[in-house]
Structures are given as C-alpha cells and as structure tokens.
Structure 1
Amino acid sequence: MHVVIMGCGRVGAALAQNLAALDHSVAVIDQNPEAFRRLGPDFDGQSVTGVGYDRAVLTESGINRADAFAAVSSGDNSNIIAARVAREVYHVGTVVARIYDSQRASVYERLGIPTVATVRWTADRFMRHLLPAEQTPLWRDPTASVSLVEVRPHQEWIGSRLSRLEAAVGTRVAYLMRFGYGTLPTDSTVLQDGDQLFMLVTDDIVDTVRAVAGSAPEGQADR
C-alpha cells in the first residue's frame, strides 16, 4: 500500500520507517527539508518539501494513489486541514490525524476522521496510574456511546469462571492481562489472582459494573 505522511518529526519519522520496513510505499511531507534527516540514510521512500495540504505537494507525494494518509505535524489546524483535504478531495480510504486538543479530537472523530489526541492519551495514562480508583476509559468509540474500562474484581471472584462475573455485571470482558500478556477470554476461562480485566461498558452501567465486580459474589456455587 502507498501511505502519505504529513510531518517528519519524531512520530512521523518513526511511522515512515516502520511502514517502509514492512515494504510499504511511503511519501513524507514536511516544510523543513532538514527534518528528513530523521528518516536515516536507509530510508528508501519519498521526501517532499512543502505544505501538507497544498495540492501540488500532495500530487507530488502520490496522494492520487494513496491508500492511507497520516497527518502528524505539530499543529492541530494543519493536521485537520490536511486530513480533510485527503479525505474529502482525494477520497483516501484511511485518514488519521494527530490532535493535541482533546475537544477538537472528539469533534473530528464524530465527523469520521480518526484522531490520535496525544495530550488526552498521555493525561489518561497518568490518571490511571495516579488515581487507580478513579480510572478514565482506556478507549471510547467515536459516538461516545461505548467505552473500555479496567474493572478490579473482589478477591472472592478469584477461582470463578469469567462467564459468572459477566452474568453478574451484565457486560462482557473484552480482554484480560495475565502475566503481562493480553488474553482473549473463553467460556471456560477462570479468573486468576493478578488478572487485569477490561470490560466494555456504557456510561449508564459503568458504576454498577464496577460496584458489582468490586463486591464479593453472592453464593459460592458454580465457580
């Protein structure tokens, strides 16, 4: 596939190198020609100097045959303008924009432009470490209807089947972390000490899910 990347900072350069290593065709756009040094001498993709939403520059980068476009410059406005041009003018199938302002990220996600909100993601990660009892969602869908949250089960759930916990809380375990590895649960999965559970919830049930999971199960049958 051919991927056009706007921005050759640390993120853009790393993304370009990773894609090139997987044998994808890559074109990187940046206003500063010195930025292309980050790509390294072994980078065999295309480097295009210019503004990432200028049509002549985009044409030179191969936007007309691009399968994906990533806007990862240091400016929110530039990233959004370039992402919209790639999506609405050139009809690129996959367009992603890096956004620092979390409020803007939410707006553009609702418009169908996936975003990576660096500040929001970093802040959420710190919040989960600093205040584990008041965790923010790890992920939220673009419509803000469904989110993924970590749920801490009561110790007495240990040894029970996850299906029993799911029945009690009324939602599913999306995945669990066990011994540092992500695992997809099955009907026979038994909760072990140290497991981290991540559940799909809506805002109206998240408090109930955490409360039920954080309490001792009713009865001890069907473990």
Structure 2
Amino acid sequence: MGCGRVGSTLARSLEARGHAIAVIDSNPDAFRRLGPSFAGMTVTGLGFDRDVLRRAGIERADAFAAVSSGDNSNIISARVAREQFGIDTVVARIYDPGRAEVYERLGVPTVATVTWAADQVLRKLIPAGEEPVFRDPSGQVRADQLFVPAPWIGHTIDRLERATGGRVGYVTRFGAAMVAAPDQVLQEGDVLHLFAYEAGADEVFAVLDRGPREEED
C-alpha cells in the first residue's frame, strides 16, 4: 500500500526478483511512478478498506507492506492485513519513532523512517568506530564499515585480523563487494566490513589506527 517513491521503488524491486505484485494507492496518478514496464496489478482505494484489499488479492498474498505517507493509514492497514486476513509477513513504514516502538511491541514490524535516516547520516558524520553499522540484539557483536586505514594499505586481511581480533566479512573495492580472503592485500580506497566484539571495540580501532607491528606477525 502506497505508491510514492518508496512504494514504487519497492514494487519494481520485488517484481524484478520474480514476485507478483499488487499496488494500492488512493491517487490513481501515483501509479505513473511504476513505469510502463510494470506488469503487476494496481488498485485505487484506501489500503485499510477490506474490499480494496480483497480486490488487490490480499487473500492470496504472502506479504503486505504499508508504505504510504501516513502513519495512521500504515498501521491500520498492517493490522487489518495481519489480524483479519492472516498475513504473517507484514511491515509498516512509520515516521514517528515513538509510535514505531509501540507497534513493534504489538508485533507489527516497522521501519522508522526518520530514525533510520538520522542514523545513516550520523554514521557518516562521526569518526569510524563511534557508532557501528549493526549491533546484534545481545549487544555483544558489532559490525563497522570503514575505509582501510592508511597504515594497513599493502598488508593482508589475515594480518589485520590477527592483530585486531576482528573479522573482515567482505571488502568493497571500486564499488564491487568481494568476500574477504586471508591473503587478500588491502588497497587504498578499500572499504572494510568488520565484525568485532563490542567489549573489545576500542582496542580494535586503536590497532587499526596505529598499524601493524612486527611482534604481532
């Protein structure tokens, strides 16, 4: 539900992956964002109206995404899809971070747009290591994304891992991702996707900053 920038992009992405899609929007002009190649169904109406949902094929659906510009419409639609039509996989886009937390506790997975966007900008503003890209629910393991520090250029991933105790999951080089190999030599401009224990993160970044030492070989 919702054929704005997010909804139309989501619909095209899912269709490109081979899924059958139905898009609901109260404004028929919004469907122009889908482009001429979109082969899915478009239904004009309110996404929380049960008859509209039935016309869109909700009774045959595997998943439902509520991504309109209105928090209330999204959460009502998501709850109708889950509670009245038995759709297990439901996601609602929510602008208000406080509401998002409440609905998560009610069992409706949400994407808190404002919080997510602010978090992404924050990570690009502050120095590497201060805020991870990901932290597991237990708070023990974190993932960080950072350009390879200058002291490590020309050294292998294996040497970096042995010195820091972290693990490089993959490296992005010239925009292409590569699964990390122990003997891979790091180059200027490489982006490391590094996993480490939260408790030892300060030491990991200290080692990254200072570079390799002979006694650590």
* TM norm structure 1: 0.77
**1:139 has 2:155 as partner:** no
Counterpart of 1:3 in structure 2 is none
Change (3 A) 1:163 1:81: farther
Identity among equivalent pairs (%):
55
- Residues 110-160 of structure 1: CA deviation (Å, up to 9, x unaligned): 76655433323332333343334465333345x363442124554332333
**1:217 has 2:212 as partner:** yes
For 1:185, which of 167, 170, 180 is the aligned residue?
A: 180
Does the 8 Å contact 2:7/2:68 carry over to 1?
yes
Which runs of 5 or more residues in structure 2 are unaligned? none
Change (3 A) 1:173 1:42: closer
Counterpart of 1:47 in structure 2 is 42
CA RMSD of aligned residues (A): 3.1
Change (3 A) 1:34 1:111: same
Does the 8 Å contact 1:153/1:215 carry over to 2?
no
**Distance between the aligned counterparts of 2:129 and 2:17, measured in 1?**
39
- Residues 29-75 of structure 1: CA deviation (Å, up to 9, x unaligned): 12233333433455432222332233222222111211222111112
**Distance between the aligned counterparts of 2:98 and 2:138, measured in 1?**
13
Aligned length: 216
Query: Equivalent residue of 1:204, what SS?
Result: helix
For 1:100, which of 95, 103, 106 is the aligned residue?
A: 95
**Distance between the aligned counterparts of 1:177 and 1:110, measured in 2?**
36
**Distance between the aligned counterparts of 2:54 and 2:169, measured in 1?**
42
Counterpart amino acid of 2:171?
L
Higher mean alpha-carbon deviation, 98-107 vs 182-191, is at: 98-107
The equivalences for 1:1-223 within 5 A come to: 6-105=1-100, 113-133=108-128, 136-141=131-136, 143=137, 145=139, 146-151=141-146, 153-219=148-214, 222=217
Counterpart amino acid of 1:30?
D
Higher mean alpha-carbon deviation, 106-115 vs 31-40, is at: 106-115
Which runs of 5 or more residues in structure 1 are unaligned? 1-5
**Distance between the aligned counterparts of 1:46 and 1:185, measured in 2?**
42
Query: Equivalent residue of 1:149, what SS?
Result: strand
